[in-house]
Structure formats: structure tokens, C-alpha cells
Amino acid sequence: MKNLLSSLALLILAAVSTSVSANQCDWYGSMYPLCTTQSSGWGWESNQSCIAATSCTSGGGSLTNAVSGCGITTSGYPQCCNGSASDPDGDGWGWENNQSCVTSKPSTACNWNGINYPVCTGSDSGWGWESNQSCIGKSLCAGGNDSAPKWESLIDGNSFSNYSTFEKHWNYLYPWGSDHNGTARMYGSSANHKQIYLENGNVLVLKATPVSATEGKSKADPYLTIKYHSGAIHAKTQVLVNDQYPNWEVRGEFQAPTSKGTWPAFWLTGAWTWPPELDILEFKGSATNWFNTFRTSSDVSTTKVSVSSPNNWHKYRAWITKVNSTDVDVHYYIDETWYAVHRATGFVGKPMWVIINLQMEGSAGAPGPTSDTYYRARNVYIGRTSTH
């Protein structure tokens, strides 16, 4: 028994030592550095994506220790101590201490404004994608870093501070008009703030009001009878993932109604065709948030999360990142806790609208409320990396 306890203690100590010393995450074969400024979710530090240790392990990744005794490169991989001796094929990558490492061979890596990228082997110019990671052509690297990736804030979180700022960044109604898939018809303009208005504290309010007079049916499938006036807005900025803009962050804080018949949403949908669609916040008459990624009408990834008191302020976030020439990964969070990653096949090159709306009934059930319903938003943010 004493020997058994001693063995268990050594195992526990080894596990603790590994987690403490770990500084990168093996995320399904791709290595990411661990974030140092946040305790959960994905982030952006030192001009590159990072992941918190808790989100790495809870999401199916594994913590690893990249320290090899010869330092860590800015790409997050260790520097090979034995140089070219650890790199027999001369591709710039070696193997030491049971892990990949980077050799010091200058032709295999490019320091692009503080970020190390491998040099492409199949192309001499421009940017490429090899071995499941971005690479840079040798001639582009030698030509300078004027086009280094930079972070751009397109909507900085203060767009609800006044109507002038609001109307600079947002349009009233849906991109296609007033009707959609529920029983609410959207109303709002610069001269009509009954359903869409701003409150002190940089807060947007969407109000759904029951109406007694019939207005016929919605002009959108499934053509339900209109029972409410409500509000919707969409950003003038579209989200477009491509080589120039490979990473996007879309987030905001919301007080969402969840009674039967209420259907608030914060989502992205295709500007040209449907799908694509990404649902960052969607409550359908209950306290369950639906993270949805529509690749086709029948090919959908869904992650359901029970939210405590959704009518209080909570932060909903999506980190959208290009993973190859056609696909992106979408990471979903609530209150900086990572809940899911969905592979969005075919989303590269397809622009998407960002929409905030309060629809009613439909998928949220009926009958809906007989009094006014309120949906509030603040600190809505849209940003991206730019390689040009």
C-alpha cells in the first residue's frame, strides 16, 4: 500500500508539473502558444492567436512543454539545440526531446514584423498554405514587411453612444427588409425610434410590441401572421474571411429575453446566398443558447448551452479563423468561456452580414407575450487581422 501511494503521488506530481510548465497547446495537431493575459477562451497576443490552458484541455487539446533549453521562437515552437543535425531533410524542422523544433537555418523561416512564418517550399512569391499552416514566399520575405498582419477594429464597441455614431456603423431593419421567419415585422429609421432606440450607457434597445390590427402575413417563409412590431439592425461592415482578412472577432454583451415566443438573435448570414450562417446568440423561448453553423440547410453543427439568467448582461463571442483555402473554424464563447469549435466548410470568400434582431414566436413557440418585450445590447465589437 505504501508503494502504491508513493506511485500515485509521483504521478500526480508529474501531472501538476506538466500543467505548470506547459506553454503551448496541441490543438488537434496544430500548436498554439498559451495565453498569458486570460484564463479561458482564445485570444490574440504578440500578433498571433493563443489559447488559454483550460480551454485547451476542455476542448480536446493537450498541454505540452515547448521548452527545449534553447528558447522558444515567436511561432511558439522551441528552437532546436542541435541545429541542422536535428533536421536531416533540411526543411527547417527538427525533432528533439520528443517534440518538433525549429532549426536556425535562415532560409526556412521569415520573421515578418515579429511573427515567424515558415518559408513556402512550393512557391517563391506571395503567401501560401503548407503543412496546415500559413507560409511566405522567399521573395516576399526578402522584399520587406510593409504588408505585415495588423489588427483592425471596424466597430469599436462604442457604436451605440449616440444616433450619429450608430447610423455611421449600422443600418435599420434586416438587409433584405422588414420581414423574416417569425410573427414580428421590423420597424425603424432615423425618424422612427419606437422599436429601435438608444439608452444612456451606450445601450441599444430593441422592443417588440403586440399589435391588435392585422397586417397580413410575413413576406418571408414560413409566412406567419404578423402579431408584433419589433426591431432589427445590421452592420454596414460585412465579415469576409479570405487571405487578406484571415481572422475575425465578433462579440457583444446582451440582455436577452427567454420567455415563450421570444426569439432574440446575434448572428451572421450570407450577403449573397444562404447559407452561410453563424448564430452567436439565439434563444428560442428558453434559457438555452444555440450556437449554430449552417454549411447547407441540412448540414448544421449545433452546440446548446444553458445560460444562467440570460436577462442579465452576458458576453457572447465568436472567433473566426481561416484554416485552409476554403474553410474556417468558428470558436464560440459565453462570458469568455470556450464552448465549441465548428468547422465552417466553404465559408472562405463569402461575405456575411452581422445582424441583431428580436423576432417573435416561430421557432420560439406560441403564443408569445401579451406585453412589450425588450432585448438590449452593448459593447458590440467587430475586428479582424489584415495582411495588406
340, three cell numbers: 465549441
pLDDT one-digit tens code per residue, 367-381: 999 999 999 999 999
Verify that 159 and 267 share a domain, yes or no.
Answer: yes
Verify that 179 and 222 share a domain, yes or no.
Answer: yes
Average pLDDT taken over every residue of the chain: 84
Give backbone dihedrals phi and psi of 240, rounded to 5 degrees, phi first: -135, 110
CATH (domain of 70): 2.30.32.30
Provide the number of structural domains found in the chain: 2
Verify that 218 and 315 share a domain, yes or no.
Answer: yes
219 vs 58, more confident: 219
Residue 11 lies in a domain: no
CATH (domain of 282): 2.60.120.200
Q: Tell me which of 152, 277, 336, 361 is the catalytic residue.
A: 277
Residue 4 lies in a domain: no
323 pLDDT more than 70: yes
Verify that 32 and 86 share a domain, yes or no.
Answer: yes
Question: Cell 465552417 maps to which residue?
Answer: 344
171 pLDDT more than 50: yes
CA angle 101, 102, 106 (to 5 degrees): 170
Verify that 132 and 216 share a domain, yes or no.
Answer: no
The pTM of this model reads: 0.69
Mode of pairing for the β-strands spanning 288-294 and 300-306: antiparallel
Picking from 151, 184, 200, the residue at the C-terminal end of a domain is: 151
pLDDT value of position 236:
98
140, three cell numbers: 516576399
Residue 267 CB burial class (10 angstroms; 0-12, 13-18, ≥19): buried
Instruction: Mark residue 340 as left, alpha or beta (left: phi above 0; alpha: psi -120 to 50; beta: remaining).
Output: beta
Provide the pLDDT confidence category of residue 242 given band limits of 50, 70 and 90.
Answer: very high
pLDDT value of position 181:
97
Verify that 293 and 379 share a domain, yes or no.
Answer: yes
Residue 152 CB burial class (10 angstroms; 0-12, 13-18, ≥19): exposed
Picking from 151, 184, 203, the residue at the C-terminal end of a domain is: 151
The parent domain of residue 71 ranges over 18-151
167, three cell numbers: 447610423
Verify that 267 and 361 share a domain, yes or no.
Answer: yes
pLDDT one-digit tens code per residue, 92-120: 666 766 666 666 544 467 766 556 677 88
pLDDT one-digit tens code per residue, 39-83: 777 777 765 677 888 878 877 777 876 544 565 554 455 667 776
Question: Cell 450608430 maps to which residue?
Answer: 166
Residue 338 lies in a domain: yes
Residue 5 lies in a domain: no
Verify that 133 and 166 share a domain, yes or no.
Answer: no
Taking residues 152-158, what's their average pLDDT?
Answer: 95
Concerning whether 336 is annotated as a catalytic residue, the answer is no
Verify that 349 and 276 share a domain, yes or no.
Answer: yes
Helix segments in 121-200, DSSP class H? 138-142, 163-169
Residue 319 lies in a domain: yes
Residue 244 lies in a domain: yes
pLDDT value of position 342:
97
Verify that 103 and 175 share a domain, yes or no.
Answer: no
Least confident of 14-18, 126-130, 355-359, 363-367: 14-18
pLDDT value of position 92:
64
Residue 13 lies in a domain: no
Picking from 134, 151, 168, the residue at the C-terminal end of a domain is: 151
343 pLDDT more than 80: yes
182, three cell numbers: 417569425
CA angle 205, 210, 215 (to 5 degrees): 115
Within a 10 A sphere around the Cβ of 116, how many other Cβ atoms?
Answer: 16
Give backbone dihedrals phi and psi of 168, rounded to 5 degrees, phi first: -70, -35
Helix segments in 70-208, DSSP class H? 138-142, 163-169
Cα separation, 242 vs 386, in Å, equals 10
Least confident of 12-26, 129-143, 190-204: 12-26
pLDDT value of position 19:
40
Verify that 270 and 317 share a domain, yes or no.
Answer: yes
Verify that 166 and 306 share a domain, yes or no.
Answer: yes
Provide the pLDDT confidence category of residue 388 given band limits of 50, 70 and 90.
Answer: confident
Provide the pLDDT confidence category of residue 144 given band limits of 50, 70 and 90.
Answer: low
Percentage, residues of the chain above pLDDT 70:
75
Residue 84 lies in a domain: yes
Q: Tell me which of 249, 253, 282, 361 is the catalytic residue.
A: 282
Contact 258, 233 (CB under 8 A): no
Concerning whether 282 is annotated as a catalytic residue, the answer is yes
pLDDT value of position 274:
95
Cα separation, 78 vs 50, in Å, equals 16
Cα separation, 133 vs 251, in Å, equals 26
